[in-house]
């Protein structure tokens, strides 16, 4: 029987509308009609209590959650636990993210994500492989012993998931434009991160298929008066997507507001870079043998280096509104439609529209999540 979501304010293509009924049948949205439409009256009603019905949030950079770090346990149950932790905060689609590791661990992570997708683990859309093809000069918290150049011998491994989406963050100067092009031709989404590249090194990578910049401003060559660097390349290219961590720490909100003036808003997407502390009260965890301390949204190692974040997607949307001055519609799109477009799944995720997968978030005025749906399956917060 069809389910009718009624008595809510529905965010449709950037506009909140009232008096409409969202009809679900199985995993899909079948129609959005007036509440008096016979199809709505004949369906099983689900009262939204006047709340905000939003497209489900999509997070392309999730290192962990619920006390689980993907690097420590790259298996199906770890992915399930991470997804469950983030679902409480509106994330209905995510990429488990592997921080630079040995290639046998990369292979295990790929196998785990493939198995998780085949098992129907809620929310998992693919895998983000962040490194090890990074520049040690911009390593951040990544283990320098794991870093290496990307050559043709790794192409088979990086293109082997064949289920869902594969996102690879690399430093363009650690490989060649031709190898980037081969990854893209095989269906991999390629993003620049932990890079010390000059503008002249980024530009050919963009021409050969690079489409993203991982946690803009962080762990990359900066924009200066005589060298635009990776940041300048990201902000001057109108077509690439920029992931931004809006926690007030990774990047000053003033800097992000300036960035938003440089290119269309639809080329920015919210990411959490979340660590295992999200969804817990844990004050610390370990990353590759180092103790990471958690305070508020901030995670740092013993040297004070940022190590991901302790922020969730609902908080990121709230911060985009309060820190960046964005309206609800724009902030939500940065958490749903634009990451869906970046990952190549915008034809079925990121919007509330007929034919789309029923991945939805019900929230109150303060963006506190009350209920989520993943492929039509409801879970109350």
Q: Is 273 a catalytic residue?
A: yes
Q: Report the distance separating Cα 193 and Cα 215, nearest Å.
A: 7
Question: Which of the following is catalytic: 273, 301, 364, 375?
Answer: 273
Contact 149, 162 (CB under 8 A): no
Dist CA 2 CA 24 (whole Å): 6
Consecutive H or E run containing 57? strand 57-62
**Is-cis flag, bond preceding 223, omega within 30?**
no
CA 11 to chain centre: 20
DSSP string, 90-116: TEEEEEEEEES--HHHHHHHHHHHHHH
Q: Contact at 8 Å (CB) between 235 and 300?
A: no
Length of the chain: 381
The encoded tokens of residue 222 equal: 């900066």
Distance, CA of 198 to CA of 205 (rounded, Å): 11
* CA contacts within 13 A on the Cβ side of 194: 26
**In the structure encoding, which two tokens stand for residue 131, read together?**
């490194």
Between vectors from CA 168 to CA 68 and to CA 227, what angle results, nearest 5°? 115
Q: How many CB atoms lie within 10 A of CB 117?
A: 19
Annotated active-site positions, please? 273
């Amino acid at each position: 029987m069809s389910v009718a979501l009624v008595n809510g304010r529905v965010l449709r293509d950037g506009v909140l509308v009232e008096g409409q009924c969202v009809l679900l049948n199985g995993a899909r949205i079948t129609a959005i009609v007036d509440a008096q439409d016979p199809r709505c009256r004949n369906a099983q009603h689900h009262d939204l209590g006047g709340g905000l019905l939003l497209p489900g949030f999509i997070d392309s950079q999730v290192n962990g959650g619920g006390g689980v770090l993907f690097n420590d346990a790259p298996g199906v149950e770890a992915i399930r636990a991470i997804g469950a932790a983030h679902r409480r905060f509106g994330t209905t689609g995510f990429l488990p993210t592997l921080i630079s590791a040995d290639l046998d661990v990369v292979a295990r992570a790929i196998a785990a994500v493939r198995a998780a997708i085949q098992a129907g683990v809620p929310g998992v859309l693919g895998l983000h492989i962040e490194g090890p093809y990074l520049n040690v000069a911009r390593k951040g918290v990544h283990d320098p012993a794991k870093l290496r150049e990307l050559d043709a011998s790794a192409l088979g491994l990086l293109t082997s998931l064949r289920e869902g989406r594969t996102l690879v963050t690399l430093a363009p100067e650690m490989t060649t434009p031709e190898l980037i092009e081969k990854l893209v031709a095989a269906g991999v989404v390629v993003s620049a991160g932990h890079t010390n590249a000059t503008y002249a090194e980024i530009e050919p990578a963009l021409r050969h298929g690079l489409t993203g910049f991982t946690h803009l401003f962080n762990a990359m060559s900066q924009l200066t008066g005589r060298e635009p660097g990776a940041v300048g390349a990201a902000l001057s290219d109108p077509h690439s997507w920029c992931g931004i961590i809006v926690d007030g720490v990774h990047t000053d909100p003033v800097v992000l507001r300036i960035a938003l003036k440089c290119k269309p808003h639809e080329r920015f997407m919210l990411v959490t870079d979340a660590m295992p502390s999200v969804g817990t009260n844990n004050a610390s965890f370990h990353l590759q043998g180092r103790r990471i301390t958690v305070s508020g949204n901030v995670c740092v190692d013993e040297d004070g280096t940022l190590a991901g974040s302790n922020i969730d997607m609902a908080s990121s949307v709230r911060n985009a509104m309060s820190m960046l001055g964005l309206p609800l519609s724009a902030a939500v799109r940065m958490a749903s439609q634009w990451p869906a477009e970046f990952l190549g799944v915008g034809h079925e995720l990121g919007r509330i529209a007929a034919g789309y997968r029923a991945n939805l978030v019900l929230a109150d005025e303060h963006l506190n999540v009350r209920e989520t749906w993943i492929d039509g399956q409801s879970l109350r917060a």
